[in-house]
Amino acid sequence: MIVMKFGGTSVGDARSIRAAVGIVRSRLERRPVVVVSAMAGVTDALIAAWERASRGRGAGGSIAARHLAAARDLGLPLQDVRGEARGMEAALAAVRGRRGSSAADRDRIVSFGERLSAHLVAGALHSAGVEAAAAPAGDAGLVTDAAFGEAEPLPEAYPALRRGLRRRPGVPVVTGFIGRTRDGRPTTLGRGGSDYTAAILAAALGAEEVEIWTDVSGVMSADPRVAPEARTIERLSFAEAAELAYFGAKVLHPKTLLPAMAAEIPVRVLNTGDPAHPGTLITRAATRSRGVVKAIASKKHIIVVDVVSTRMLLAHGFLARLFQVVADRGVVVDLVSTSEVSVSMTVDRGDRLREAVREIRRFAQVRINRDRAVVCVVGEGLGQVPGLAGKVFSTLGREGINVEMISQGASKLNISFVVRGDQADGAVRALHRRFFRARAGGLFGAGRLTAPRTPAEPRDRAARDVCAGAPR
């Protein structure tokens, strides 16, 4: 059994859905369970509709029309889509009537994106001769806590999903991103949560592999919009992939890997538009790249908090007090760097920071630096290579990029540092040239990367045309 997750661009219109159906049909012997996201852009549109409804105006007619048009293009009966559209309009009307809303209302309204998508994909599979049915994840057993917007599965979800999905005939088409509370209210798992849903289902069902189908051919050595010469990484360890997901790689949701890591289920990232491409395989262990560095990621719109106090000098308990304040206010810290009398830490959300800063200022000086970026250089064995950090920072120095904060993880998988937000792309490009240019010359080896293919290039050739130096 495998779990196949299709992202928003992979189900974004009738043409994309037909391509996804063809991919599912090619894997029927592996007993697939399909997980779908909302159509690209629909989640944002639903959030906007909820916000308008909270102010007493607006409706979701354009969202319904888009799905009905896709159903007609696919030649499907319209009753299922119309039924979900009526449910969506009723939920919006209830919010408009109250002139106010809650996070629970938002999750209920946002859940219709995946529900509509599941009906379209299941209907298209059925039309192609594959027995399939839409399965809301909550109804199938994905029971969560009541943290609306960032819900987490409860322990009973795993056996419930096992019971709920194994008895379903054909191919279940499960809604990603959404679950339900014990009392039946829809919840969402956070943005990008369809990947997380797929990994949860895989762990519950004991799947042999999770396939994440998206619009790029695997995890790249950098964001190709920033570094056009970026290549697909052939293999990553769970630890490497987790670092990249957390520090800016958009292909995977950071939570995705947690259930897969716990159950040691391989995750493969693939391209719906190029299904013959082998993509990126993520496993417990991966071969070390000959060049050590496998990828460079960046995370923008970061806030750096500098805390300075002479009370730190030769004192105990200062850091405990500082981080207790941060924890009590729910502020998530990414990186930390300390000296004798100062602590610097990065956070990516400022909505809860003000209260924490007010409390910290009772016992220390605080300086806030906004519009910063974290750049992360990732690779197994990176911490054991003499001189590698020197190469990183000398490269940045030649580009005139100032490093404001440095942190190396205890896992020795990454070197992370902070620069001004407007210098992040330049830092990624410079480092990518430094560590990957020498590897793009067609060499073969254990750590490989593949170049993007032109449309005219034969697909069977692409499977062989692998150049070495860093994994794909």
Query: And the tokens for 206?
Result: 């004991």
Residues whose CB falls within 8 Å of the CB of residue 141, separated by 6 or more in sequence, listed in order: 157, 159, 160, 161, 162, 163, 164, 165, 204
Q: Give the confidence band of 250 by pLDDT, cuts at 50, 70, 90.
A: confident
Whether 121 has a pLDDT exceeding 60, the answer reads yes
Average of pLDDT values for 301-315? Answer: 82
User: What is the structure's pLDDT at 467?
Assistant: 27
pLDDT of residue 463: 29
Per-residue pLDDT band for 313 (boundaries 50, 70, 90) equals low
Closest CA to 179 of 212, 154, 199, 203: 154
pLDDT exceeds 70 at position 57: yes
Residue 311 has pLDDT above 90, yes or no: no
pLDDT digits 0-9 by tens, 127-172: 999 999 999 999 999 999 999 999 999 999 999 999 999 878 899 9
Confidence of residue 206 (pLDDT cuts 50, 70, 90): very high
Q: Is 185's pLDDT higher than 80?
A: yes
**Mean pLDDT, all residues of the chain:** 87
pLDDT band at 222 (very low <50, low <70, confident <90, very high): very high
Q: What is the pLDDT of residues 17-44, one digit of tens each?
A: 999 999 999 999 999 999 999 999 999 9
250/345: higher pLDDT: 345
Cα dihedral sign, 407-418-333-151 = negative
* Predicted pLDDT of residue 411: 62
pLDDT at res. 413: 87
**Please, are residues 59 and 89 in contact by the beta-carbon 8 Å criterion?**
yes
Percent of the chain predicted with pLDDT > 70: 91
Residue 230, pLDDT > 70, answer: yes
Query: In this predicted structure, what is the pLDDT of residue 59?
Result: 75
pLDDT at 307 over 60: yes
Report whether pLDDT(470) > 70: no
pTM of the prediction?
A: 0.85
pLDDT at 410: 58
C-alpha distances (whole Å) from 254 to each of 112, 241, 242 are: 24, 9, 6
**146: buried, middle or exposed (CB in 10 Å: 19+, 13-18, 0-12)?**
middle
Higher pLDDT, 193 or 372: 372
What confidence tier does 454 reach under pLDDT thresholds 50, 70, 90?
very low
Give the per-residue pLDDT at 383: 76
121 CB neighbour count, 10 Å cutoff: 25
Band the pLDDT of 412: cuts 50, 70, 90.
Answer: confident
Per-residue HEC secondary structure of the chain comes to: CEEEEECCHHHCCHHHHHHHHHHHHCCHHHCEEEEECCCCCHHHHHHHHHHHHHCCCCCCHHHHHHHHHHHHHCCCCCHHHHHHHHHHHHHHHHHHHHCCCCHHHHHHHHCHHHHHHHHHHHHHHHHCCCCEEEECHHHHCCEECCCCCCCCECCCHHHHHHHHHHCCCCEEEEECCEEECCCCCEEECCCCHHHHHHHHHHHHHCCCEEEEEECCCCCECCCCCCCCCCCEECEEEHHHHHHHHHCCCCCCCHHHHHHHHHHCCCEEEEECCCCCCCCEEEECCCCCCCCCCCEEEEEEEEEEEEEECHHHCCCCCHHHHHHHHHHHCCCCEEEEEECCCEEEEEECCCCCHHHHHHHHCCCCEEEEEEEEEEEEEECCCHHHCCCHHHHHHHHHHHCCCCCCEEEECCCCCEEEEEEEHHHHHHHHHHHHHHHHHHHCCCCCCCCEEECCCCCCCCHHHHHHCCEECCCC
* Statement: residue 408 has pLDDT above 80: no
- In this structure, what token pair is assigned to residue 365? 């000086």
- Average pLDDT of span 294-312: 89
Query: Does position 258 have pLDDT exceeding 70, yes or no?
Result: yes
